[in-house]
Structure 1
Amino acid sequence: MTLSRRTFLSGVSTAVAAGTLGAPFVARAAPADFTYKYANNLPDTHPMNIRAREMAAAIRAETDGRFDLQVFPNNQLGSDTDTLSQLRSGGVEFFTLSGLILSTLVPAAAINGVGFAFPNTDAVWKAMDGALGAFVREEIAKANLVAMDKIWDNGFRQITSSTKPIVGPEDLKGFKIRVPVSPLWTSMFRAFEAAPASINFNEVYSSLQTKVVEGQENPLALISTAKLYEVQVYCSVTNHMWDGFWFLANRRAWEKIPADMRAVVAKHINAAAENERADVAALNAGVEKELAARGLKFNQPDPAPFRDKLRKAGFYSEWKGKFGDKGWSTLEAAVGQLS
């Protein structure tokens, strides 16, 4: 698949309607045995939704139309919190959700967001396709949900600033930074002696513009689509946190599907996840160049001093206690000793 960055970043999709004129009779396909809804919170043109539509078509074809997966992007069925409730009740059969948000229900799901844990995406996939991902899926199962084997990519988060580049942890001391409403984010930046402010994303641009905060942190693609480069000067490629989207199913709805059909559905969902990962990697490489061309000044800090600061501040010890010995040892087996 060839994916245009312009198509993705514009957030504009085109609907094409086709009809046949003059036909005396139109044969209608037999209704599907299973018509399930899949909801997500990303724009229609994000790689997740492009791959999801391909996935739905492949499932429909391989099951001879017996399984119809309907895709609802861009929070069409409600906010993340609302849709998670619908997933649990069975109103929605499938939902992709960040592990950091899912952690309100499954605390262990936030473990992939531990600050400066992953050195690169290779380490991410080794962990999340391996023992760490298996551990999180086991915890998700306790909430009566089913997580597919492959987690989808949201990417590493970077820090932007209107006042100075973030070169080392000392640059974060007293730094006023917007963070999502989440204990993990607040805890990490407080460990750096920063001044984190929990602000809803729809207020980020204005908060940066009016200097309520100096900076924020997000993946590059979102920095671009939200035009944060208009109110920020520097972008420090810290890769301080990685996040992805678990493809979740309501357990009762999942178990209603015959085993052979479940295998087909799972196969195509997991294949789409791997394709989306490659798409996001390609997009991020291009987005950095585009942001630099718009005047954003990039630097790449050494992560080692940041990890040392978190260790000395007790951040890793605190979260080891919250995630438990099993979860923490599984994380460290993949990335090396943190605490």
Structure 2
Amino acid sequence: MPKLSRRAILATGTAALPLFAISAKPSRAADFTLKLANNSPVTHPQTVRQQEAAERIKKATNGTVDIQVFPNNQLGSDTDMLSQLRTGAIDFFTLSGLILSTLVPVAAINGVGFAFKDYDTVWTAMDGKLGAHVRGEIDKRGLVAMDRIWDNGFRQITSSTRPIKAPEDLKGFKIRVPVSPLWTSMFTALGASPISINFAEVYSALQTKIAEGQENPLTLIQIAKLYEVQRYVSMTSHMWDGFWMLANKRGFTALPPDAQAIIAKELNQSALDERADIAKLNESVATDLKTKGLVFEDVDKPAFRDALKKAGFYADWKKKFGDEAWGILESQVGTLS
């Protein structure tokens, strides 16, 4: 069987031979060398589990498919890598739905404020009808999304000035948010004063009091050492975010069908493994942050949801996402608008 690169397949449209015609032979050089990129550190569960998937895929295909993992933005920024994925320079890429929304607007729907009450609700929706709807929209843009989304965690609010327990505690609160309309509109609706700042500048913004607080998953609060410039952690779980495992559609469908099946199976399995990793990590991170002096606060989550409803936040985003997508979301999480 001749060695065919992904680029050769895309250029010629030539169908590859089945992988398992050689399954009984010794392993040899890969016929398909593919690139998988992410924005997570080398030691992050996402990277670890993706590397494990790559190893399983190589073994299951008798070395025919070799997926090389490039973590920690080695191949560029999220925007750069999304562009490379679309052109075929990268074969696979894990990306937040909130960032993917620049290409697929409905991909941000999982970030609607206070929509998901817990992880059971998240996985029911994202492994079910809501996830299927988003994947369908992704497919229309020339990409393939694997069935299982990876966990990036619930986001929590931190503060250096006061604990945030109820919506009224956010009145006039200067909070750093990512450069995204979904975040800005949510915190504005809650009466806060959101400030859009790139993450690289968050620590200094908190240290100099340009912002009183910020919001991120607990793991990132730990990694970025934000506990050094914050006092309180309010367990709002106001937004959930995940990483879609994306593939260049043209390149992926040009692979032999059995290779596609193996890749999808192993990447989806590693997504489930990563979810379990994050769940365990969240428990240990919370304990660690408490020992570093952060004070954890429980919040009145239904009150936040009611405040967003009264402010018209849900009605506005229903119009932006469309009746179909919003109807699917509410069928999973309950009435919002």
Decide which of 217, 225, 228 is 2:226's aligned counterpart.
228
Q: Is residue 27–residue 62 contact of structure 2 (8 Å, CA) maintained in 1?
A: no
| Residue equivalent to 1:316 | 314
Q: String of CA shifts for 1:254-305, please: whole Å, max 9, x gaps.
A: 0111111110110000000000000000000110010001100001102000
Q: Quote the Cα distance in structure 2 between the aligned partners of 1:32 and 1:114.
A: 43
Q: Secondary structure at the match of 1:333?
A: helix
Decide which of 58, 62, 65 is 1:64's aligned counterpart.
62
| Residue equivalent to 1:151 | 149
Decide which of 162, 185, 188 is 1:187's aligned counterpart.
185
CA shift, 1:77, in A, is 0.3
1:283 aligns with 2:313: no
Q: String of CA shifts for 1:284-332, please: whole Å, max 9, x gaps.
A: 0110010001100001102000000000000000000000000000000
| Residue equivalent to 2:140 | 142
- The count of corresponding residues between Structure 1 and Structure 2 is 312
Q: Provide the aligned C-alpha RMSD in A.
A: 0.8
Q: Is residue 81–residue 90 contact of structure 2 (8 Å, CA) maintained in 1?
A: yes
Alignment map for 1:56-95 (pairs within 5 Å): 56-95=54-93
CA shift, 1:30, in A, is 3.0
Q: String of CA shifts for 1:31-76, please: whole Å, max 9, x gaps.
A: 2111100000000000011111110110000000000000000000
One-letter amino acid matched to 1:180: P
CA shift, 1:193, in A, is 1.1
Alignment map for 1:1-339 (pairs within 5 Å): 30-339=28-337
TM-score by length of 1: 0.91
Q: Quote the Cα distance in structure 2 between the aligned partners of 1:261 and 1:73.
A: 23
Q: Is residue 28–residue 62 contact of structure 2 (8 Å, CA) maintained in 1?
A: no
Q: Quote the Cα distance in structure 1 between the aligned partners of 2:298 and 2:45.
A: 26
Identity %: 66
Q: Secondary structure at the match of 1:212?
A: coil
Q: Quote the Cα distance in structure 2 between the aligned partners of 1:282 and 1:230.
A: 23
One-letter amino acid matched to 1:106: V
Q: Quote the Cα distance in structure 2 between the aligned partners of 1:29 and 1:123.
A: 43
| Residue equivalent to 1:10 | none
Q: Is residue 153–residue 278 contact of structure 2 (8 Å, CA) maintained in 1?
A: yes
| Residue equivalent to 2:5 | none
Q: Secondary structure at the match of 1:124?
A: helix
